[in-house]
Amino acid sequence: MKVGVLTGGGDCPGLNAVIRAIVRKGCFHYEDQFVGFLEGWRGLLEDKSMPLDLASVGGILPRGGTILRTSRTNPAKKADGLDKCAATLQKHKVEALIAIGGDDTLSVAQKLHAKGVKVVGVPKTIDNDLAGTDYTFGFDTAVNIATEAIDRVHTTAEAHNRVMVVEVMGRDAGWIAMYSGIAGGADVILIPEQPFDIEKVAETIRLRHARGRYFSIVVVAEGAKFSTDLDPRHDAPVLQSMVKDEFGHAHLGGIGNILAREVERLTGFETRAVVLGHIQRGGSPSAFDRMLATRYGLGAIDMVHRGEFGCMAALRGNKIVSVPLADAIAKNRTVDQEVIDVAYGILDKLSAEKEAVEK
Amino acid sequence: MKVGVLTGGGDCPGLNAVIRAIVRKGCFHYEDQFVGFLEGWRGLLEDKSMPLDLASVGGILPRGGTILRTSRTNPAKKADGLDKCAATLQKHKVEALIAIGGDDTLSVAQKLHAKGVKVVGVPKTIDNDLAGTDYTFGFDTAVNIATEAIDRVHTTAEAHNRVMVVEVMGRDAGWIAMYSGIAGGADVILIPEQPFDIEKVAETIRLRHARGRYFSIVVVAEGAKFSTDLDPRHDAPVLQSMVKDEFGHAHLGGIGNILAREVERLTGFETRAVVLGHIQRGGSPSAFDRMLATRYGLGAIDMVHRGEFGCMAALRGNKIVSVPLADAIAKNRTVDQEVIDVAYGILDKLSAEKEAVEK
Amino acid sequence: MKVGVLTGGGDCPGLNAVIRAIVRKGCFHYEDQFVGFLEGWRGLLEDKSMPLDLASVGGILPRGGTILRTSRTNPAKKADGLDKCAATLQKHKVEALIAIGGDDTLSVAQKLHAKGVKVVGVPKTIDNDLAGTDYTFGFDTAVNIATEAIDRVHTTAEAHNRVMVVEVMGRDAGWIAMYSGIAGGADVILIPEQPFDIEKVAETIRLRHARGRYFSIVVVAEGAKFSTDLDPRHDAPVLQSMVKDEFGHAHLGGIGNILAREVERLTGFETRAVVLGHIQRGGSPSAFDRMLATRYGLGAIDMVHRGEFGCMAALRGNKIVSVPLADAIAKNRTVDQEVIDVAYGILDKLSAEKEAVEK
Amino acid sequence: MKVGVLTGGGDCPGLNAVIRAIVRKGCFHYEDQFVGFLEGWRGLLEDKSMPLDLASVGGILPRGGTILRTSRTNPAKKADGLDKCAATLQKHKVEALIAIGGDDTLSVAQKLHAKGVKVVGVPKTIDNDLAGTDYTFGFDTAVNIATEAIDRVHTTAEAHNRVMVVEVMGRDAGWIAMYSGIAGGADVILIPEQPFDIEKVAETIRLRHARGRYFSIVVVAEGAKFSTDLDPRHDAPVLQSMVKDEFGHAHLGGIGNILAREVERLTGFETRAVVLGHIQRGGSPSAFDRMLATRYGLGAIDMVHRGEFGCMAALRGNKIVSVPLADAIAKNRTVDQEVIDVAYGILDKLSAEKEAVEK
């Protein structure tokens, strides 16, 4: 069977492990042939491809990024985009396509499937917030990187009696903040799911001081929000709009910096922010993510041969199962009760109580 | 409530995270007091203890080892051992004891419970082979360390056209070998659950050469065994007994070295062994293990306050539940079908087929 | 002999190794006694101290931060500050003081020495820019962290056909940028010593594209500056002032973000910035830094016993020597010709030529 | 100019960085062309080569191993070997050859040069023991890996009240043992340069116990030797010969295991050994090694264009200079006085005194 493979959306540690697993099982067990389309859906729109065989996936398992490169190109937003994609597949005599990507990529996959293309999806989001699957690859690596950064920042906070604010990824869901915050021993964790009261944050830090801990670590997801308007003189949204320049670039660095300023203002303790940014999604995947990505890849090629099209591979408990693409794309998966309970149990009391109350 | 805590058996990344979680939730939510008994059951036998409070668990989350130290002392094997333990607990007015350890430690916990002591267990095995729980903390860290070592060895194997044998932990179960082997891109993985045919191993490596891959990685668990007797001239068991010296120390270095010798003899390819040993169980726990260990600790102190004695905390899916100590100790958990299937899908065909046939 | 020790200024990996070396050699070889003053010079001003002996330096070698904590308190700027310091030393019967810190800390040391206090200095700057010494501890760790971050960002740049700008530390000197840029395979490196022409930067990146490399890495020291004024519509200094809010906090994130915007504007290639910030100075020191810090510590306690006061330990070639504090504080050490030559040799031609011309 | 490049001997982190630097400077500054000979001198004997250009060195900087692979093939030991090498160079119209390797590789380079071939050498030894140069690349990476392993083992030693013996590389010189031992906080360091008295080792460990440190770390170079014969009942050399099997393979695992047994016998403390082996030489080079390897590569291609043949690039202080191959090969460089002094200053007194006496 001739199978096409592409990777779309933001890069994510483990993409190469998925590709490798697809190709190895396909070659060893099914006698498949493969073609890799380059830079996500752009590869289908512009007919850019590379051959994929055992040799081309040799040595890629430990590498970050994706040998097929990626882009955010969306053919559904271009005239005849989907038809062009289908035509390219036909030209290459591709009988089935495996699309690896986030909800954008998978929603295109679903539309192509509706047009009769045989598509199987593999979910990818470093934020771990895709409905329909328990864990996504890349997340564990991001959490490890963020945790290591929090560890580093800890020694500085302690040496200087400082509050350190660490901003991690997570626009709509606080998975990375929660996991890295708990693993890094944060004193306060702020997530998009729960708008936070800056006074409560300050109070938690003051109480730590009162019991002799002269430093604190605050982990904040990039999408976290104040629950109340700030004093207009230093209102965060105002500041945020202020730094959009005429070219439309935002320069503020986001919630981490605003939060550091407010914590310092309210507590009087020296406070600094670190914004981790892109280093969270690059580099070699953790062992966990390599295993998980391998399982997704094996699951996807099996689905192709079982004819389960219009579906994506998903992790449920310790099994890879097949779920309809439509279900997966439908909604974001926010931090679950089990994780909230852990934060409630381990964080400094006031900080935890607040979360408990508001959840 | 006054609660005692001890850690027994081999050390394991995450022990400090468990202790910290117990103490933090106990102090913040239950107003407990704690006493830490030192060096496992020895601390109870010899009444060696330290106070445990919020300050004493400050900063220990990222550290390997255990601030309570550990030992393999088994009071059940000493005259009046269990009674002495109970007496020490009484002397300290300890109302409940949390014992963190492997099956040895937990079997003592069960015996103490049978004598009326209120005990809760937390399972600990770096090998991930304890029945009754899905994952144990420390395992992910060990797999990460082993995978990183395999990555390193890969570059040497490739530069030299060599076969490299990497021996990892796993006396009775091949969890670490399977996970690190798959994550490290091994070509052959040998585990205690499946005695291996050395000829099949050699044939897999020859086939790789035949398709232009002039190096191979073999990952072997320390407990893996040959399925057939070796040629008596270089019979492994003979060699193994030969190197026990008069002091009873074994010097051979185990299966890794024997296997390297045999692979080189059968294939003619230069082969070297690396025995990872103790570095797999030391050092800072991974983020995953810190989270997991924290959950076990929170689960244990909750169990104390719910009165679930004679039980241990266990991970089932994404929930921490309570299971009887007796069930947990009963039997070893060997590598499951899901993991075997992954190996079958991703390994070089012959190697995988062999496993498929024999499983 | 009774010896005081303090650490001042920003924290730096290796501080604990210096303290440990001083105390171990002092205890084993000279039968010294030690007192640690807390939080830099503040400890002398406010008489805050802790005892220092073999036990208190046990296990601190691999830890970041400083067990003596640190601050930027400058007694020379307070009324009677220096006299208070001298009085505290007298009260503790301290016969000699070892001050570990950067030029601020050491300039206070020099002033105290001028007042008759027996002081020995140990130079500390993560930026490696202190005159009088070849290498300072902490620098190698910072370079390793920055290099690892550049490695991570590389995979993202390549997967997305992007330009990635990585901002590293270095306000007055480009040592970290140069070393991490070369070690991380950067295509352009911008340092404070050489104001840069943004057009040349853009041209280098365009030429890389022209030869088929669709991604680029730019490493920029935080103190790097444009050589020419920007188009007034998007002038960087204007932007920079714009984001100082009424509380005096800068929010822009500095040169990295401005540069990313300009590169994208001039080349049309998608460009993103990463600002590493505080993670560069936290965490466990590299082996090189532990060795170097140990050597500085040993050198300092030897100087105390040789009576070389008013001096600091310095690395010259592979020897620790004693140099007057005055010389050391006098001026900053900028990137030397050897390193410029390496950049000239290894960077893409245009980028290198520019540096060659301007150097 | 057409330049050949080869890598010989054991692999070493930084080899790819040397190759990359040669090719980049050659292409950008000298308009050279390159051919890479595969598997060291074997590539010249058997005419196995690959083209080397800017594209082929893209992305190799952070990778361990060598894209040219390596071997220990020695053409000087084969009939007409050197002539065959010269003929292959002529066939490829190679005007100058850069040979990267240890003393074996460089001695062949010297012999070829004596026959009129234009050769430049780049020294490579992970052991840092090559005369004529201050530091060799790969050494810093090996020390970092060994130090990290010692860190890990520390937590186990402390948790179990154990003595841990860590065997590191170093057949003839103790550089890695000294650096990693000091950086890892070892209590005893044993090196080939100083045969050790096992009783003194035991006494040091007993004294540590006496002052309340119930664990110890011993770092031993693989080439370290007992100064006195052991009791014949457990004589090490006997044991060592005993485990050479009929196929000539040694199985004992060397000095680390013997030492652990003896320490346990003499002190009565539980003792375990870890033999690091091949993981010390694989994997991504440290930032320091990437910088150093880059400098060696730039130096070598400059030497080619300055006509400095029969020489090798060498690091002296912070400069790359040219030294005759003959000088470099002549003798091993053992641990220098500066490093001995550091060990004397930082180690537990008895252990240090011993070294001081015997040096």
Residue B229 has pLDDT above 50, yes or no: yes
Nearest CB to A183 within list B158, B291, B342? B291
Residue A264 has pLDDT above 50, yes or no: yes
Extract the tokens encoding A195: 């708008």
In chain C, whose CA is at the least distance from the CA of A165?
Answer: C278
Q: Give the pLDDT confidence score for residue D318 in this predicted structure.
A: 83
Helices B15-25 and B287-306, interaxial angle, to 10°? 40
Q: Give the pLDDT confidence score for residue C274 in this predicted structure.
A: 94
| Contact state of C291 with D342 under an 8 Å Cβ cutoff | yes
D228 touches chain B (CB under 8 A): no
Q: Give the pLDDT confidence score for residue D241 in this predicted structure.
A: 36
Nearest CB to B156 within list D153, D234, D282? D282
Mean pLDDT, rounded, for D234-250? 41
Q: Give the pLDDT confidence score for residue D277 in this predicted structure.
A: 92
| Contact state of B274 with D274 under an 8 Å Cβ cutoff | no
Which residues of chain B does D163 touch, with a Cβ-Cβ cutoff of 8 Å? none
Which residues of chain A does C230 touch, with a Cβ-Cβ cutoff of 8 Å? none
CA distances from B255 to A323, B171, B217, B221, D247 (A): 43, 11, 15, 8, 17
Q: Give the pLDDT confidence score for residue A240 in this predicted structure.
A: 43
Fold of A2-138+283-330: Rossmann fold (3.40.50)
Q: Give the pLDDT confidence score for residue B131 in this predicted structure.
A: 83
pLDDT in tens, C133-186: 889 999 999 999 999 999 999 999 999 999 999 999 999 999 999 999 999 999
pLDDT in tens, D283-305: 899 999 999 999 999 999 999 99
Mean pLDDT, rounded, for B325-354? 82
Q: Give the pLDDT confidence score for residue C228 in this predicted structure.
A: 72
Q: Give the pLDDT confidence score for residue B243 in this predicted structure.
A: 42
Residue D242 has pLDDT above 90, yes or no: no
Mean pLDDT score of chain C, rounded to an integer? 90
Give the domain ranges of chain B: 2-138+285-330, 139-281
Residue C352 has pLDDT above 70, yes or no: no
Q: Give the pLDDT confidence score for residue D98 in this predicted structure.
A: 98
Nearest Cα of chain D lies from the Cα of C207 at a distance, in angstroms, of: 13
Extract the tokens encoding C161: 């056909």
Mean pLDDT, rounded, for C124-128? 93
Q: Give the pLDDT confidence score for residue C242 in this predicted structure.
A: 38
Mean pLDDT, rounded, for C63-89? 95
| Contact state of B25 with A144 under an 8 Å Cβ cutoff | no
Mean pLDDT, rounded, for A287-299? 98
Q: Give the pLDDT confidence score for residue D358 in this predicted structure.
A: 43
Residue D331 has pLDDT above 80, yes or no: no
Q: Give the pLDDT confidence score for residue C351 in this predicted structure.
A: 61
Fold of A139-280: Rossmann fold (3.40.50)
b/e sequence C253-287, b meaning 16+ C-beta within 10 Å: bbbbbbbbbbbbbbbebbbbbbbbbbbbbbbbbbb
C-alpha R_g of chain C: 22
3-state secondary structure chain A: CEEEEEECCCCCCCHHHHHHHHHHHHHHHHCCEEEEECCCHHHHHCCCEEEECCCCCCCCCCCCCCCCCCCCCCHHHCCCHHHHHHHHHHHCCCCEEEEEECHHHHHHHHHHHHCCCCEEEEECCCCCCECCCCCCCCHHHHHHHHHHHHHHHHHHHHHHCCEEEEEECCCCCCHHHHHHHHHCCCCEEECCCCCECHHHHHHHHHHHHHCCCCCEEEEEECCCCECCCCCHHHCHHHHHHHCECCCCCECCCCHHHHHHHHHHHHHCCCEEEEECHHHHCCCCCCHHHHHHHHHHHHHHHHHHHHCCCCEEEEEECCEEEEEEHHHHHHCECCCCHHHHHHHHHHCCHHHHHHHHHHC
Q: Give the pLDDT confidence score for residue D350 in this predicted structure.
A: 59
What three-state secondary structure class fits C13? Answer: coil
Which residues of chain A does B184 touch, with a Cβ-Cβ cutoff of 8 Å? 61-62, 287
Interatomic CA distance for residues C149 and C164, integer angstroms: 11
B354 touches chain A (CB under 8 A): no
Mean pLDDT, rounded, for B72-95? 96
Residue C334 has pLDDT above 70, yes or no: yes
Fold agreement between B2-138+285-330 and B139-281 = yes
Instruction: Mark out the alpha helices in chain D (DSSP H runs).
Output: 15-25, 41-45, 81-91, 103-114, 139-160, 175-183, 198-210, 236-242, 255-267, 287-306, 325-330, 337-346, 349-358
Residue D234 has pLDDT above 50, yes or no: no
Residue D243 has pLDDT above 50, yes or no: no
The subunits that touch chain B, with at least 3 C-beta pairs less than 8 Å apart, are A, D
C241 touches chain A (CB under 8 A): no
Q: Per mean pLDDT, which range of C9-18, C212-221, D74-83, D127-136 is the poorest?
A: D127-136
In chain B, whose CA is at the least distance from the CA of A146?
Answer: B287
CA distances from B146 to A287, B240, B276 (A): 9, 25, 7
Strands C163-168, C216-221: pairing is: parallel
Fold of B2-138+285-330: Rossmann fold (3.40.50)
Mean pLDDT, rounded, for B167-176? 95
Cβ(B160)–Cβ(D11) below 8 Å: yes
pLDDT in tens, C107-118: 999 999 999 999
A337 touches chain B (CB under 8 A): no
Nearest Cα of chain D lies from the Cα of B307 at a distance, in angstroms, of: 30
The subunits that touch chain D, with at least 3 C-beta pairs less than 8 Å apart, are B, C
Is D103 in the active site?
no
Mean pLDDT, rounded, for A219-242? 64
Q: What is the ipTM of this complex?
A: 0.92
Which residues of chain A does B288 touch, with a Cβ-Cβ cutoff of 8 Å? 140, 143-144, 183, 288
Q: Give the pLDDT confidence score for residue C243 in this predicted structure.
A: 41
Active site amino acids of B: 127
Residue C213 has pLDDT above 70, yes or no: yes
pLDDT in tens, C81-106: 999 999 999 999 999 999 999 989 99
Residue D183 has pLDDT above 50, yes or no: yes
Residue A319 has pLDDT above 50, yes or no: yes
Mean pLDDT, rounded, for A108-133? 94
C243 touches chain A (CB under 8 A): yes
Continuous segment of H or E residues that includes residue C200: helix C198-210
- In this prediction, residue B250 has a pLDDT band, given cuts at 50, 70 and 90, of very low
Nearest CB to D283 within list B155, B251, B265? B155
Mean pLDDT, rounded, for B73-85? 95
Q: Give the pLDDT confidence score for residue B331 in this predicted structure.
A: 73
Residue A30 has pLDDT above 70, yes or no: yes
CA A74 to chain centre: 19
Q: Per mean pLDDT, which range of A90-94, C307-311, D5-9, D241-245 is the poorest?
A: D241-245
Mean pLDDT, rounded, for D37-57? 97
Which residues face B130 on adjacent strands?
B332
Residue C244 has pLDDT above 50, yes or no: no
CA distances from C46 to B8, C40, C75, C76, C79 (A): 45, 11, 11, 14, 13
Nearest CB to A287 within list B180, B287, B345? B180
Extract the tokens encoding D302: 């400059």
Choosing among C158, C267, C289, which should be mutated to test the A contact, i.e. which has the most A CBs within 10 A?
A: C158
| Contact state of A282 with C156 under an 8 Å Cβ cutoff | yes
Nearest Cα of chain D lies from the Cα of C260 at a distance, in angstroms, of: 22
Mean pLDDT, rounded, for C264-275? 95
Percentage with pLDDT > 90 across chain A: 81
Range D201-210, long-range pairs (CB < 8 A, 24+ positions): D201/D259, D201/D263, D201/D351, D202/D262, D202/D263, D202/D266, D202/D267, D203/D350, D204/D348, D204/D350, D204/D351, D204/D354, D205/D163, D205/D263, D205/D267, D205/D269, D206/D267, D207/D348, D207/D349, D207/D350, D208/D348, D209/D267, D209/D269
| Contact state of B279 with D160 under an 8 Å Cβ cutoff | no
B333 touches chain A (CB under 8 A): no
Q: Give the pLDDT confidence score for residue D23 in this predicted structure.
A: 98
Interatomic CA distance for residues D179 and D147, integer angstroms: 8
D24 touches chain C (CB under 8 A): yes
Q: Give the pLDDT confidence score for residue D253 in this predicted structure.
A: 55
Mean pLDDT score of chain D, rounded to an integer? 90
Q: Give the pLDDT confidence score for residue D353 in this predicted structure.
A: 53
Fold of C139-281: Rossmann fold (3.40.50)
Q: Is the pTM of this model over 0.90?
A: yes
Q: Give the pLDDT confidence score for residue B211 in this predicted structure.
A: 84
